[in-house]
Structure 1
Amino acid sequence: MLITFKSKAATEITMYKEHARRILDLIQKDVERGVITPQELPQAIQKIEAAVADSKAHPISDEVNRDVNAHHNENGDDNEHEAPETVSFATRAFPVLEMLHAANKMQRDVMWGV
């Protein structure tokens, strides 16, 4: 399922709901439908930026890496395909953070599910 973030301060952003959920859970917002008001933007930006910094400080563990690559090496069943590329939380959150910064600067809402 997809979710589209909208604001008069920036271009729309569409992403998978499961990826948006992690961002929205940080700021205690419902993934189905919601709004971040101009008054909430500074705190939302702070929380998301803190989570991004934390995710950069704690890269994927060896165990998770091993699970992701289980079938993508010379000993695996599926060694003729390219190894999957993981996308970091920081990369997924970047466009949303950019929208939040723009909305904060222009004092506009950020909405989704409407």
Structure 2
Amino acid sequence: MMVTFKSSAAPDVLMLRDLAQYLLGLVGKRLDARGVILHDELPVAIRRLETAIADEERTERVLEAFQHSHGGQQGPAGNGLSRRAWPFLDMMREAQKQSADIIWGL
């Protein structure tokens, strides 16, 4: 199932339900049939998502260093959180700039 995020500040963002549920959880929201991130909630939501991305990137670097030091094979470049979250994060940043809300629906 797909979830569509909409804002007057940015093009629609369409993503799979599981990813939408995960990203919304990171920013302190629940995936319901419909929902909203109000413009005054965006600074905290953006900060939470950026922190989660930074934490994942830090963990990946440590894991890569560990694998390299132990002669392990380096895995292929992953499809990490920063790549998967980028359209949503970009929408949140644009909505914040324009004091716009973000709504979603299933």
TM-score, normalised with respect to structure 1: 0.74
Greater per-residue helix proportion:
2
Between Structure 1 and Structure 2, whose CA radius of gyration is higher? Answer: 1
- Pick one of 82, 93, 97 that aligns with 2:85: 93
CA contact (8 A) 2:28 2:45 kept: no
SS of the residue 2:39 aligns to: coil
Note if contact 2:5-2:104 (Cα within 8 Å) is conserved in structure 1: yes
* SS of equivalent to 1:59: helix
Asked if 1:104 is matched to 2:96, the reply is yes
Unmatched tracts of structure 2, length 5 or more: 65-75
Aligned-residue identity in percent: 39
Trace 1:33-44 onto structure 2 (pairs within 5 A).
Answer: 33-44=34-45
- Distance, in Å, in 1 between the alignment partners of 2:77 and 2:16 is 17
Residue 54, structure 1, aligned to residue 55, structure 2: yes
TM-score, length-normalised on structure 2?
Answer: 0.79
Deviation at 1:21, TM superposition (A): 1.3
Which whole-Å CA distance do the structure 2 matches of 1:106 and 1:29 have between them? 21
The Cα shift of 1:28 comes to 2.1
Q: Which residue is 1:74 aligned to? A: none
Q: Work out the CA distance in 1 between the residues paired with 2:20 and 2:59.
A: 20
CA-CA distance at 1:86 after TM superposition: 4.0
Q: Which amino acid aligns with 2:15?
A: M
Aligned twin of 2:29: 29
Moved over 3 A (4+): none
The equivalent residue for 1:71 is: none
Structure 1: stretches of 5+ with no match in the other structure: 63-83
Instruction: Count the aligned residue pairs.
Output: 93
Distance 2:77 2:57 in 1: 16
